[in-house]
Amino acid sequence: MSHETDFLVIGGGLAGLTFAMHAARHGSVTVLAKGRSTSSASDKAQGGIASVVSEHDSFEDHERDTLRAGAGLCHEDIVRLCIQGGPESIAELESLGVPFSRMQDDQQAYDLGKEGGHSHRRILHAGDFTGHEIMQALHKAVRAQPGIRLLEDRLAVNLIVERADHPVGVCRGAYVLDQNSGQIETHLGSCTVLATGGAGKVYVYTSNPDMASGDGMAMAYRAGAEMCNMEFVQFHPTCLYHPRAKSFLLSEAMRGEGGKLRLADGSEFLEDYDERGSLATRDIVARAIDFELKKRGDDCVLLDMTALEADYLVKRFANIHRRCLEYGLDMTAEPLPVVPAAHYFCGGVRADARGRSSVPGLYAIGELANTGLHGANRLASNSLLEAVVFGRLAAKDAVEWAARAPAPAGEPPSWDPGDATDSDEMVVVSQNWDEIRRFMWSYVGIVRSDKRLERALRRMQILQEEIREYYWNFLLTSDLVELRNIAVVAELVIRSAQHRTESRGLHYTLDHPEADDRLLDTIIQRDGGVRSAPIHPSVHYDWI
């Protein structure tokens, strides 16, 4: 049985719901969420959303900070487009009821935060629950719109691409696993929007929620979409180091308010790496921590907030303070142990300024997309801004595409499980899953080398064969689907990293420590071919 809609959205985070709200004014929308409303990375975002709202700030300064953080690979037109869409995005979120924090002595003024790489205070936040407050407001708005159907516990398996009437193929929808019944559903739409977020679970240590297994990236690649700059994986410098914390993120806003990173002996060290010290960009801070830990044999460094007033800390970082107390740690009285963890994919499905991928009918927005905004390293708190701005832009374009898209050639085939049976060997899935995540951390992490990448690719190719065989022999489970996707994303990261024979931004390799003067994107295609492309002009996909 197939389900039809005008706009099919795969992903229930900020980008997907923003798209849904705007598209629903022009047709029916089905949103497929992998988990519950509080499961997305958007909901977990603590720091806030970057935007120029102060008279002391400017678009030019925000653009300059973004370009500097991106280490030369940001697409300037995309940066300008996104940043200048900031005030409208903030106004839209406030109209939905998002309670951005205000100054205590002036309720008309925002209480703006500052984070690494920013030259001004421009981070709007709602305490340290920003993502949760935004997602609560969006869910309320989405559920109030009759044209939107939100289905939870749906895991997309494969995109449906019809090739008969178009030389490249046209995306018509997706096969989707209902995680409650175990049944495969067919969902069709005039256009399909991927907004599934990142792939932090490719690494054994990550700040991401459990659902971040690169599903949208892997599906898009299998469907023939171009992938871009997959080598640039951002590691957040400050995740709580505690056996029960599961890499709980300590917001960059903590350093923005005066927190200092220190070694185990209490000494500061980041000034030796960058004049901005603890407020340097994430690539620099994470690499510095990694270097110091390996040099000294320590398990962690320390984030020291004790110079700030206790009452202020408890109010400003209420959620973080409460969670740390659960682990027996009091930030008002002692430094907190921290380590880097995989946090954000700056690479992803190559998309243009309208969210179009190289596959007609398929849009990519949010973290899984690579528009050129982040370049080689994302500036803190630009991610929520990107999700709202491109969710809105993609919806506008999708309405136009839906009105003139070529008619389907016929009903797509129903899902065929073939001779697949229930598996009694799920240990194979868990073993392969664990092995991929561990060697990605060891060989394709913060610091890389030619030998490490070669070793990772050899092992990945063996595992891919095992996973393929398992995939076709056994009925699908969410663990098997995620393993298959993690394996695809891992191989894309490895191949892209091998292709970039320089060190830039988040990609640092011991064998090529200097930057290359050429500013090029890494493009990887369905046949496995990897090439370089100039960053200007930005990609523009014309589907008809």
- Catalytically annotated residue among 122, 154, 172, 282: 282
- The 3-state DSSP class for residue 190 equals strand
Q: At what angle do helices 382-404 and 76-84 cross, to 10 degrees?
A: 100
Is the Cβ–Cβ distance between 248 and 43 less than 8 Å? no
Per-residue CA distances from 454 to 13, 332, 485, 497, 544 (Å): 35, 46, 21, 10, 40
Q: Hunting for tokens 């603890």 — which residue is that?
A: 278
122 flagged as catalytic: no
The closest alpha carbon to 530, from 202, 229, 232, belongs to 229
- Beta strands across the sheet bearing 260-262: 233-240, 336-345, 301-304, 260-262
φ, ψ of residue 239 to 5 degrees: the values are -105, 140
Q: How far from chain centre, in Å, is Cα 467?
A: 25
Residues sharing a CB contact under 8 Å with residue 155, sequence separation 6 or more, in sequence order: 34, 176, 177, 179, 215, 478, 481, 482
Instruction: Report yes or no: 25 and 47 within 8 Å, Cβ to Cβ.
Output: no
Query: For the chain, what percentages of helix, strand and coil (3-state, to nearest 5) are there?
Result: 35, 20, 40
Q: To 5 degrees, how large is the angle CA 322–CA 382–CA 199?
A: 75
Distance CA 342, CA 208 (A): 8
- Reported as type and span, the H/E element at residue 334 is none
Residue 80 three-state SS: helix
With a CB cutoff of 8 Å and minimum separation 6, the contacts of 265 are none
- Tell me the three state secondary structure of residue 29: strand
Q: What's CA 465's distance to the chain center, in Å?
A: 27
Strands 148-151, 29-32: parallel, antiparallel or unpaired by DSSP? parallel
The set of residues, in sequence order, having a beta carbon less than 8 Å from that of 13 and lying 6+ positions away, is 40, 41, 42, 43, 135, 195, 197, 366, 387
Q: Enumerate the active-site residues.
A: 282
